[in-house]
Structure 1
Amino acid sequence: MKDSYNDSRNGMASKEQIWKIRQLEEALGWKDNPARLNGFMKKYYQTERVEWLKGWQAHKLIESLKKMLQKQSEVM
């Protein structure tokens, strides 16, 4: 994913980044409640849809979700 920072769509999130976000959403148990991810993105990235993220925002979101997943697994 190193070079998937920028998609050919004017710096928007790449297909690979969107795929990874969806994968992490499912791992966190948020897939059944899309409002969780949408609310998180709205709060921290000022957008409500994954498809509207810029490449750098998607990268930061992926890292945030990975940290949340790691903390969730530490608690259990």
Structure 2
Amino acid sequence: MAKDRFKLKLKCPSCGLAGMADAEEEEGWAYLKGKTARRITHKPDGFKDVEDNKKPGGIDIVCTQCGESALS
């Protein structure tokens, strides 16, 4: 199946650490049929991804120093 690949802008609201992450998710019919899981393929140092069902794709990226969500 085809993947939709895109960049996510990251910036910690507490310390200002910023960067770009690469992500992918199913596209087209697969996405519409409920396969909405997002996979982070690369993130800069200082960030980690955590499961969060309230965020799009079920994942959030947080600053490792502050613990704050860095997704804008």
- Normalization by structure 2: what TM-score? 0.26
- Between Structure 1 and Structure 2, the one with more strand by share is 2
The structure with the greater share of residues assigned to helix is 1
Of structures 1 and 2, the one with the larger relative CO (CA 8 A, separation 6+) is 1
The structure with more radius of gyration: 2
